[in-house]
A and B are shown apart, each in its own frame.
Chain A
Amino acid sequence: MSERTVNDNNKLWEAAERAAEQAVLDAKAESTEERRKQKKRVLKLSLLMIFIALIIVFASIAWFAMNKAVTADTMAIEAAESPFEIAVKGDSVRIDDEFKSADSTYEYGNEQTYSNVDYRETGGIVQKIKIRYNPGENDPTEFGPDSSGQIDFYVVPKQDGTLTVRIDLDTIGFREFGEGNNKAIKRISELTSADVPDAATLASYQEAENYLKGHIMFFENKGNAGTAELNQYYYKDPITSGYLTKTFENAKKNEPKTVTIYWMWTNTLGQIALKNTANLVNVERNGLPIVADVSDSASAEVLSASDKGKVIQYLKDNKTKIFKDVTVTDTQIDNAKTEANFNLLSTGYNNADFAIGSCISYFMIDIAVSKAG
């Protein structure tokens, strides 16, 4: 001790103090770092929690929207149904073998009986069913221009109360390949270059499907078959938008509601495009008009409100789906009764019909029903 001077002692003290200060500073720095890390962890966790919470919220909303509440009932667990199912009835499915080959996802449906009438219904895992009909003796086996049909199906409410559904209508083309056991029916939209000899063939098939979608038109109601032939027409209320909405007021659970859709592949363009087929001068009346005639001098308002106006507008809106190999203008469609326009439009329409007939082997009318509103 005695050997150390006061100065030395002081120096030591200072060093010790410095060391202590450093230690405190270090500790301080460590805890700040720690806290920052902690904060980060909390933030991460909370973000994750928010995400999980969101997922759960949306999933459960979806779950409730599906209305698939699971109820436990003594021994059985069953899933409640969606707000509606769809059903069909009839003896048989048209060209069922070909249907199976073309699309195996459509099923016959679950057997159900409502008010002593047997139906085949969607439900459970069955979401797509085949439309059925009662075959008659003189049913056509092949469908082309001038063919038409009526499709009946049923919307079966699964809850009491008003039900609004949206019904989407689509026409899908299929092409048959091969023969005998190698026969395969493929969706035109799913064809690849491996299915066809060359790109031009594939393009012609796709183009033909497009014309098919344009040439098959849908209607809500039948025309007036009973009156004199000159005043007759096939249908009322064309569905030109590709879908319709139906509301069933005060629907009762399990009481099927009938929906009838009419389709027609019109034979000649004049049946659609000519406003007044009864008094033709330049062109010949060939077949009944598809919807009721209007006067050639009808005002724009009267025309656009009429069924004829709607189908003429449909022609204008879907020119590329209706006319092949010709360039058509709205004015030509509006003035279809002049000989030159009529010949041009008819040629385009018939060319498209020919393309459909030579490229498409089968077509499917596909009806999708979903809850609306």
Chain B
Amino acid sequence: MKRIFSKFDMLPKKNKMALVLAAVMTFSLIITIPAYAWFYEQRKAAEMYKVEFPNALYLNAAHREDRMYFNMNAISKYKMDPVTGGLYHDQDGKLVAVTSQQYVFSVSGKNTTKYTLQLAHTNNNQFEYTIYPATEYADKDSVPAGTSEDRVVEYKLNANSRNENDLGSINNDTYNADDDTTVKCYVRSASPVSTSISQGYQNNTSTTPMKASKTGKFYNENYGSKTNVDDDDVASYWRSDDITVVSDSNKKFCHYYVLEVTWNNRPTSGIESKETDMVYITADRK
């Protein structure tokens, strides 16, 4: 062995390099040939699948229009005209006083089995909020005969207003051209979205007038140890039962809801000077 090494040392540089190269190449051949043979024995089978866009819930205005069209500003004491967006005048040109206003919103999504609706609002104006399931009809003529007027909410579509919701067509929902500005009708159910005993309002101490508790986790979450908060500014939290979804063949669904704001039980004194409330609606996928 010593002699081999000494022989190697005696070789000219060129030959040394050649010998080393030859050895390395031989060694790599020794490695690669069996490895190649092993790969050659491997057989593969594969299948491709298209990945769907993440399942999400969309909270939109009526007809899945962008959220900005869910417009609750300036809640009027008088009946509104859905077509002009202004106040409605009767045959005598008079305004019609009402005790409630109704607003349509939609929850849509894909691959969802259940979700809950949640509502949070401050109690400044002492409005009452009720969420009803609703059904969409293409126009007033399609609304089933005998439906009570006060359950029908008209909504004029806005052109190019559907940019947030990219679910596309859903079986139970007619999705029209972008420039469609026809008036759709939404008929709300006779009874509101169900809430069992454990659901409904989570933190109210009284209903009339509505007051939220100034203790407990809802209060602490918002205000921590601060106590000097106006009673009416403490938000009331409401949640629905789980709402079960029946999807179409593409696993999509769209539900419509009417949010009714009433002031029947509103105390009359000292309230007119108040003007602002914050209302949040969220949908939570289960």
Residues of A whose CB lies within 8 Å of any CB of B are 40, 43, 47-48, 51, 54-55, 58-59, 61-63, 65-66, 82-86, 88, 93-95, 98-99, 102-103, 106, 122, 127-131, 133, 138, 140-147, 149, 151, 153, 174, 267, 284, 286-287, 353-354, 356-358, 360-371
Contacts and interface: CB of A to CB of B under 8 A. Distances in A.
A85 B46 CA distance: 15
A355 to B, nearest CB: 8
Contact of A131 (B46, B54, B250): B46
Contact of A357 (B7, B33, B41, B53): B53
Interface in B20-45: 22-23, 26, 29-30, 33-34, 36-38, 40-45
Contacts of B22: 48, 51
B37 A357 contact: no
A131 B26 contact: no
Nearest to B44: A128
A292 to B, nearest CB: 21
Contact of B47 (A94, A145, A368): A94
13 contacts: A43-B7, A55-B30, A55-B33, A62-B33, A66-B37, A122-B43, A133-B47, A144-B53, A149-B49, A174-B48, A287-B113, A357-B53, A358-B53
A66 B50 contact: no
B12 to A, nearest CB: 11
A83 B41 contact: yes
Contacts of A145: 55, 111
Contacts of B37: 62-63, 65-66
Given A98-B50, A144-B54, A153 B45 contact: yes
B48 A86 contact: no
Contact of A371 (B30, B34, B41, B114): B41
B33 A59 contact: yes
A146 B46 CA distance: 21
B54 A354 contact: yes
Contacts of B55: 144-145, 357
B109 to A, nearest CB: 12
B252 to A, nearest CB: 11
A82 B49 contact: no
Contacts of A147: 49, 52
Contact of A367 (B23, B26, B46, B249): B46
Contact of B54 (A47, A55, A94, A357): A357
Interface of B: 4, 7, 19, 22-23, 26, 29-30, 33-34, 36-38, 40-55, 111, 113-114, 249-251, 286
B38 A370 contact: yes
A145 to B, nearest CB: 7
7 pairs of A and B residues whose beta carbons are closest in the complex: A357-B54, A142-B52, A62-B37, A131-B47, A144-B52, A128-B44, A370-B42
Contacts of A131: 45-47
Contacts of B40: 66, 82, 127
A88 B44 CA distance: 11
Contact of A358 (B46, B47, B54): B54
Contact of A54 (B26, B43, B51, B52): B26
Contacts of A82: 40-41, 43
Given A66-B41, A128-B45, 6 more contacts: A54-B26, A62-B34, A66-B40, A122-B44, A149-B47, A367-B44
A191 to B, nearest CB: 16
Contacts of B46: 103, 106, 128, 130-131, 364-367
Contacts of B29: 55, 58-59
Contact of A61 (B34, B43, B111): B34
A58 B113 CA distance: 60
A86 B43 contact: yes
A230 to B, nearest CB: 16
Contacts of A367: 44-46
A59 B14 CA distance: 29
B49 A88 contact: no
Given A66-B41, A127-B44, A371-B41, A146 B51 contact: no
Contact of A369 (B33, B43, B250): B43
B44 A366 contact: yes
Given A54-B26, A369-B42, A370-B42, A357 B34 contact: no
Given A82-B41, A102-B48, A144 B23 contact: no
Nearest to A353: B54
A128 B49 CA distance: 17
B7 to A, nearest CB: 6
Contacts of B114: 286
